[in-house]
Structure 1
């Protein structure tokens, strides 16, 4: 008897990918046979990196994790993307109460769209809870140090981008 692999999707903008994201990817990959990291663009956010740059960044960062992890882009409703990937699980990370309220509402809406796909919430590691891509970018733009929040390679990319677009607060 052949069993169907359990597939999970972990969606996000990953602009840039942080140590918090990597914690959720690492732990989420243990829960499923295949984890599909879906990189998307949120129209309400102004990305520092292009979709292709973010895809390359995430691919490089997940190489060391092992397991069956795919990194793909998507520009669709999350549930359509999950269905296309054959997912039975959506993995979401939670940092704080504000995250929970938003994610709880989204999970309820997603369940209405497809009740065969479960949303699984993973609490961010306590040391990583305050990390948010938006704040990492803001710290970097104003000349702060971001080494505690991203890998050395991502730090180098963010610093180079900030130098290109111009740092503020000098």
Structure 2
């Protein structure tokens, strides 16, 4: 009986310490995963990849391949359909690519405006809501965040984040 009580209190304390995601956080995560799986199932399966979205509508998915990277720009249409609008093979600079796919630079927890990362508060926040995650070849999530497009401080590496925002703006403007 004593062992059961210890297990109960241990599991309760684990749940109490873990961050509770809002419905909007869960929806952004699910939308990103669904878009990636429905459009790029074969490309992302067993591959490390990054998903970045703005307003759960415009997505950049970067897939690490041997010696190169594939970048997809995907848009979720108003009718619920998703389309790959751009598919590009990239030769990213060594340092940027190394940083993007270096799981040690990312936090393990899901960062939102309510996270301890922003205690006591964030300095500035503006723009549409973004979602970011790097997933390794086993599906483990790194650096997961749902924040505004302009956030200070930013929990995501500035070079990585700048690249993704610039690419998304480029695609959105050219389509």
Pairwise TM-score range, normalised by the shorter structure? under 0.3
Whose strand proportion is higher, 1 or 2? 2
Greater relative contact order structure (CA < 8 Å, 6+ sep) = 1
The alignment's TM-score, normalised by the length of structure 1, stands at 0.25
Whose helix proportion is higher, 1 or 2? 1
The alignment's TM-score, normalised by the length of structure 2, stands at 0.25
